[in-house]
Structure 1
Amino acid sequence: MEINNLDKFTNVYGRIDAILIVNKNNIIEYSAMVTEDKEYLRTDDILGKNLFDVYPELDEKSSTHARVMTTGLPVINQKQTLTEPSGRRHTSITSTFPIENGGELIGSIDLSVDLSEKSSTAQRRKLFSMNDIVTCNESMNLIKEKLAKIAKNDSPVMVIGESGTGKELIVESIHTHSHRCQYPFISLNCAAVPDALIESTLFGTVKGSFTGAENRKGLFELADKGTLFLDEINSMNIELQAKLLKVVEEQRYMKVGGESYIDVDVRLISAMNISAQEAIDAKKLRQDLFYRLSVVQFLVPPLRKRREDITLLAEHFITIYNEKMNKQVSGINDFAMKVLQDHSWPGNVREFKNVMESAFNVVEGQQIRMTDLPDYLITGSNILSDYAEDGVTGNLAQMVEDYEKKIILKVLKSSTSLNNASAKLGITRQTLKYKIEKMHIDYQTLLGK
């Protein structure tokens, strides 16, 4: 059964968290969770199953699908509390509508809004999807294409890239677009957990296994049927890496102090901010574990190798911070953009985001100017190289002011009025007039020269 134009349902009924289509034989034909941007994340693990087997709490009387199939009429805004196959119990408001083909009632479509305070839908919306990967770079677009292909499978994935390159976007997108998306996404930064605690953190503990130990679930258990992300895997001690390797190979583990094995049903994703060879040579990563964890591998390029993305990222963050800070910035002037293009971005996209936020805190008018950028960017930019080459000395503020005056003089000579000049500079006429007076510029003799 194919159902098209699902958007018309979500547009008419506003927020929708889940869609379920069941045929006249009570077989589930379509199941999806709906993200904030109305992207349909299919949950194929229950497809082809009987509705009443998946949700044994339902019967012919309580099921909205059964009522629709009996009466041929929709059931609107019915409150239901069900237990998901994952074991999560949730309450939703459900509306179920009949599906007809040539006048024959062939099934129903169920639209629901999750009322649970900590619904898996709400948690998933905090995760990134492929739509959040902003790029026009060829290498990054190949990563997105590869991501779309491998997300639906369960092979271990390793993401390698410098700090701040956006590895978490790729990792979370894999989970978001996978069949595990309605189950937990659990993340652990291996560098943040002391060696003495990381084993119990991963595998859990049995009461009495050591002083103060209680029965506690580990991350493998918490991530059951979902995704477990181990960031900075090279920071995990070598001894524990050997135990992790055994878990990956045998697909089972034992709690600290436990006596029985627990089966593993998680997708493992790991990440490093150094190359695999560097980690292996430094004995920070077992070579055999690397092979097991990197069945699928992503190498994320640093921002300095994808400079064509700088303009696109700038537009992206302008949109974000306009909304957050209630501003109306329309762009970045050429001089500020030259500074951004010149910078080497050792902190990558994370640093770029921080720079944009910094600029938004001080920007006036509709364009970000060079003077709105952090001082360290301007100091390192080639835009001031003419001063350095001429041996000019002075503090940064004076150098920037001198360069700004030089720009204003040049623009005034090619302008017909102050309004024309201010428009070219991306500042208000009042701001330009203030700067002209402060810099003692005789603008009337310069205009149009």
Structure 2
Amino acid sequence: MINIGSLLNINNYFDSIIITDNRGIIEYYSNMRSDIYDLRQDEIIGKSILEIHPYLTQETSSIMRVLKDGRPIYDQIEYLTTKHGQNITNIYSTLPIVKEGKVVGAIDLARCVNENERQSIILTRSNNEKERLYQLNDIITKSPVMNEIKSKIMRIANTDSSVMIYGETGTGKELIAQSIHSYSYRNSNKFISQNCAAIPSNLLEGILFGTVKGSYTGAENRRGLFEVANGGTLFLDEINSMDINMQSKILKAIEEKKVTRIGGTEPIDTDIRIITALNEQPLSCVEQNTLREDLYYRLNVVQIDIPPLRERSEDITYLTDYFISRYNSKMNKSIIGLSDEVKELFLNYSWPGNIRELRNVIEGAFNIIGSRYIQLRDLPHYLVSQFKNQLLNVELNNQEMSLVEKVESYEKRLLINALVSSETIAEAARKLKLSKQALSYKLSKYNLK
């Protein structure tokens, strides 16, 4: 996403602008230093940035990197040699162009400098750029529902309306909240996150509103999160875990746009956007009196419901491939994919921990894997056991299966369980009280070898 503040700042010094489409094909070129840059418009428009600069690669070109991951690059030094052999030192910034949640192009801005000058024009970066927050490209999905959520984020990002996010544990609520902030006009200010369930209620008020020295034993003059987030976004996770009396104080602070530190007397003006999240249905929380009704209506101006992973099966395979690629790179391995049994498990398992559980299962498998494919033996025992019982219950209650089919299905599950919990075929055979030859026959029968 383009940070408008930074773009206006860059406008004070750039000598050249290149705008490309999502393939790196140059659509616009402006050169304010024809005495230095010897490329003309008719030589560059319609060509790939890698064609114009053949010494660059997908990995070394800032434009290609930004197009790939959507992350802006600011204030980098590059050394170029023109086609006439002239050496040039540039400071450049490259920013993604985002439309409806997708990177559709990139803008590259550069200024030619000399070595003595270059340190004096490094651009000031926002807090958001120092510590990168999640953006839409971090939401890895093929689900139509999730892609609609990404579009919704783009539509609501630049308003000040409160947003309430509902999703089960592990669905990525903070990822959604950070993305909203990243695409808002507040993105140069702070994004502050606080899990309301993680702090005892007697401490939460001081953390949120701040304290005055001497207001209680050990108290110091300290800003609260409402003050720290001023101008930015405050994300309150598990808001329904907050003490009901504290909720009334939160409502007052939001309505009045003022907070008073504990022990203080002077109200402090605040300008923040509030985003909240719950892992239970919001209206159920209201009915159970864990969320004040008036606070619910104040915070739930826009609601985003994140579907659990089990309801978007297309993402199970897509995310699995993504995590395998990620951990191949991170752990220097070359895992190809999943065995057929693991594919069946992944697509039929209920994933109560959602994306977080899937990621952790794959990372765990990478630590112990002994082949090019993730096998059942590489998975946590609880996962295989739960899945086995889940399938067994379904099959035993299936009225269309014959007795022979049900017995064979049950036998197959016993074999899988023995294999998963054993280091060798011989050990599995001993657990099943079978000879190795008998076990080998059964494994062949059920295609488990």
TM-score by length of 2: 0.66
1:17 paired with 2:31, answer: no
Counterpart of 2:170 in structure 1 is 164
Aligned positions of 1:61-100 closer than 5 A: 74-76=112-114, 93=119, 95=121
Aligned residues: 336
1:215 paired with 2:221, answer: yes
Local SS of the residue matching 1:230:
strand
Determine which of 114, 123, 130 is the counterpart of 1:122: 130
1:238 positional shift:
1.0
- Contact persistence 2:377–2:419 (CA under 8 A): no
* Percent pairwise identity: 43
Residues 259, 347 of structure 1: alpha-carbon distance in 2 compared, 3 angstrom cutoff: same
The superposition leaves residues 48-107 of structure 1 with CA deviations (integer Å, 9 ceiling, x where unpaired) of xxxxxxxxxxxxxxxxxxxx9xxxx94446679xxxxxxxxxxxx455xxxxxxxxxxxx
Distance in 1 (CA, whole Å) between partners of 2:161 and 2:266 is 26
Give me the CA root mean square deviation: 3.8
Distance in 2 (CA, whole Å) between partners of 1:18 and 1:388 is 67
Local SS of the residue matching 1:39:
strand
Aligned positions of 1:192-207 closer than 5 A: 192-207=198-213
1:285 positional shift:
0.4
Distance in 1 (CA, whole Å) between partners of 2:65 and 2:149 is 35
Aligned positions of 1:52-67 closer than 5 A: none
1:363 paired with 2:420, answer: no
Counterpart of 2:19 in structure 1 is 5
Counterpart of 2:360 in structure 1 is 354
Local SS of the residue matching 1:329:
coil
Counterpart of 2:144 in structure 1 is 138
The superposition leaves residues 352-402 of structure 1 with CA deviations (integer Å, 9 ceiling, x where unpaired) of 111111111122333222332222332314777667666548586525599
1:224 positional shift:
1.3
Counterpart of 2:40 in structure 1 is none
- Contact persistence 1:16–1:113 (CA under 8 A): no
Aligned positions of 1:249-328 closer than 5 A: 249-328=255-334
1:288 positional shift:
0.8
Counterpart of 2:96 in structure 1 is 39
Distance in 1 (CA, whole Å) between partners of 2:359 and 2:227 is 35
- Contact persistence 1:157–1:270 (CA under 8 A): yes
Residues 79, 153 of structure 1: alpha-carbon distance in 2 compared, 3 angstrom cutoff: farther
- Contact persistence 1:94–1:113 (CA under 8 A): no
1:224 paired with 2:238, answer: no
Counterpart of 1:178 in structure 2 is 184
1:188 paired with 2:191, answer: no
Local SS of the residue matching 1:5:
strand
Question: What amino acid is aligned across from residue 194 of structure 1 in structure 2?
Answer: P
Residues 12, 306 of structure 1: alpha-carbon distance in 2 compared, 3 angstrom cutoff: closer
Local SS of the residue matching 2:141:
coil
Distance in 1 (CA, whole Å) between partners of 2:376 and 2:367 is 14
Local SS of the residue matching 2:185:
coil
Question: What amino acid is aligned across from residue 242 of structure 1 in structure 2?
Answer: S
Distance in 1 (CA, whole Å) between partners of 2:189 and 2:112 is 30
Question: What amino acid is aligned across from residue 211 of structure 1 in structure 2?
Answer: T
- Contact persistence 1:41–1:177 (CA under 8 A): no
Which one is further off, 326-335 or 374-383? Answer: 374-383
Question: What amino acid is aligned across from residue 275 of structure 1 in structure 2?
Answer: Q
- Contact persistence 2:160–2:273 (CA under 8 A): yes
Distance in 2 (CA, whole Å) between partners of 1:203 and 1:257 is 11
Aligned positions of 1:416-427 closer than 5 A: none
Distance in 1 (CA, whole Å) between partners of 2:318 and 2:342 is 15
Residues 370, 34 of structure 1: alpha-carbon distance in 2 compared, 3 angstrom cutoff: farther
Determine which of 380, 402, 418 is the counterpart of 1:398: 418
Question: What amino acid is aligned across from residue 329 of structure 1 in structure 2?
Answer: I
Counterpart of 1:411 in structure 2 is none
Counterpart of 2:252 in structure 1 is 246
Counterpart of 1:53 in structure 2 is none
Which one is further off, 207-216 or 346-355? Answer: 207-216
Local SS of the residue matching 2:313:
coil
Question: What amino acid is aligned across from residue 122 of structure 1 in structure 2?
Answer: K
Residues 77, 348 of structure 1: alpha-carbon distance in 2 compared, 3 angstrom cutoff: farther
Local SS of the residue matching 1:164:
coil
Residues 177, 440 of structure 1: alpha-carbon distance in 2 compared, 3 angstrom cutoff: same
Distance in 2 (CA, whole Å) between partners of 1:173 and 1:383 is 38
1:155 positional shift:
1.0
Question: What amino acid is aligned across from residue 209 of structure 2 in structure 1?
Answer: F
1:188 positional shift:
0.5
Distance in 1 (CA, whole Å) between partners of 2:330 and 2:296 is 41
Distance in 1 (CA, whole Å) between partners of 2:18 and 2:242 is 48
Local SS of the residue matching 2:304:
strand
Local SS of the residue matching 2:175:
helix
Distance in 1 (CA, whole Å) between partners of 2:230 and 2:156 is 20
- Contact persistence 2:369–2:378 (CA under 8 A): yes
Counterpart of 1:85 in structure 2 is none
TM-score by length of 1: 0.66
- Contact persistence 2:361–2:380 (CA under 8 A): yes
Counterpart of 2:343 in structure 1 is 337
1:249 positional shift:
1.1
- Contact persistence 1:41–1:176 (CA under 8 A): no
Counterpart of 2:57 in structure 1 is none
Local SS of the residue matching 2:253:
helix
Unaligned runs of 5+ in 1: 20-32, 43-67, 81-92, 96-110, 406-435, 442-449
1:134 positional shift:
1.1
Local SS of the residue matching 1:285:
coil
- Contact persistence 1:135–1:309 (CA under 8 A): yes
Distance in 1 (CA, whole Å) between partners of 2:195 and 2:278 is 10
Counterpart of 2:82 in structure 1 is none
